[in-house]
Structure 1
């Protein structure tokens, strides 16, 4: 398909071709007609899938290029770097140095920005916090806004900007809302469900063309740190299956906390690799862990730990996502004929990194159901609730029923799943 099928102007088509884009991205094909038709959309896709270009093309297609007065489009981005990148991309695609656009700068002169806004600007790009601050100074007129766009919504949430987003949207008149994110999760819906009107959900998956040879990967989606601990305790009860396990966390402090949070019945089986405090049961050589039958669970902090030889350890758990995704990827790449299974725990805020890892390795992690009767910790209530198969309300949007394409006719626990996978691998 060519860009003329998207009903772009000849000027925009030539601009895209001059930039080396001869055909539209999948997300543009699926969403442009809906956006130009005025529908609210939630567009989910990995980095590089064309999300930003999609809304830039739609905004430029809708501009009348009249004498600017009050802003027509408000674009919210997670940080100043993103704000500047979006403004630059607008200029690049529009080929118009006189484009009526402003990027509000956190820490910049608010008086100068307000003067420019009063003079007339059609497109405003800003972080939610800066836009809200200018609005409260009566410098940002939202009365004529017809489109509000939230880019990198998952990062906006991660940066703690849900409240200013809601306040800005509520202050604007009735308008179109476009939300772009790498992942859909409960926190995203908590932010946008109050103002989206019958949105179309558009998802694209662009995995790497070449698949890496990695171990089988499984993913548990959990709401918070405490539920991660509850889940790990639940899984480790099956010592017949999980007979030799390594668990990676990000810091030595977390390693110590996790070691003390596991069931007391595991005390003699748990060791911590080079722990923070000498009184913790420790080990400094991974080969000793492999050889000692009494040691079943090894907790390792990514902090200050060099690459370890994981051969001979059948189960690798990532309790947290490493700061560098390559760290996790290197651990799950097959290096010998031994079979290993990789389990990753991720909260809503960690799911974007999971998507990046999947994109890099060219494969998706298999999402496993949380065990029945698992205690789900609620930070608001300060207590736990149990998963009930007849009532999934405690799970929230992050634990919605799987899509039909991903659904299974069975619901195996991790232990049984591990047994079946290992048996299948060994023939």
Structure 2
């Protein structure tokens, strides 16, 4: 069934085709007509099901109708739990919108980086705002945008929004929105807290429940290797050459680390390049296509590549830096061993990250031997542990963590 049969405009159907969406996925097949009808939506959808396009396509079509605002005011708001997902959703929206007669302005904002460039980007207003809740509230407090004109609200990965402690921020954002709006609610799971949020948010919603597709069982061999942090690059180079790995996707923590490691590997006679949200859309698209064509040995990336990117027969994934969470670990290693193919996932564990690795193991039900390779036996000793309660995302509580703790202390409620 073609996309145009779902009620989409020809320009959007063509844009979907250009992004490789040849036919609607099950979630798109059910969700797009429901959203176009104006109904609220409650959807169960797994990562990789095509849910981003399921709300992005009808969202963009809706913006082609109705009043235009001068200066531009936010008409559609997409709330997401992480910076990586914010960047991914923003990229999909921009790609789908590039050939529209009235091209909407799309802004993306998330924490962990300076707010100033995001404030500057909003000087001309925005039609669509994709943001994490905390940074969105920061922008509102800086009078960079108002939410009183929002017609369409999307909560993407609502279960993770609550898991990451955004409940208070969500309540504050919802209080800023107009009462009359369309609400789209996407979640992979529905624990009681998510059910309660959906019940208070949605009005007579259409229910779409798309189970994860049955696939041939992937065979992913997982290894953990103990190595001093300063020797990881040398070990990675050695593993690639000794094992004859032809294509390797290497995950690091930051864009700077991606550029730095790719440069080091390239100077070490490996065809390596970087892939991250700081590159232009054209550069990212070209790097990914060339990697699929086996023109690069190594692509060094951030968690931007952990979701929504399918590289057929990718043999090896390496966690050069460990992921922030156990969920991100699953998404990372899920880039290999797809469609029943075998794959290998290797994680480097240094003295200072061993406790973090053990927590990932515990949450994923893993018990992997921590290997030591000849010539790379670790000598570093972990730094003394700080106060308890840092959590899996990092050693120190964030600014948000401290604010939540202060609020909890005032009310006498646990965090």
- Length-normalised TM-score, structure 1: 0.49
Rg larger in structure: 1
- Length-normalised TM-score, structure 2: 0.50
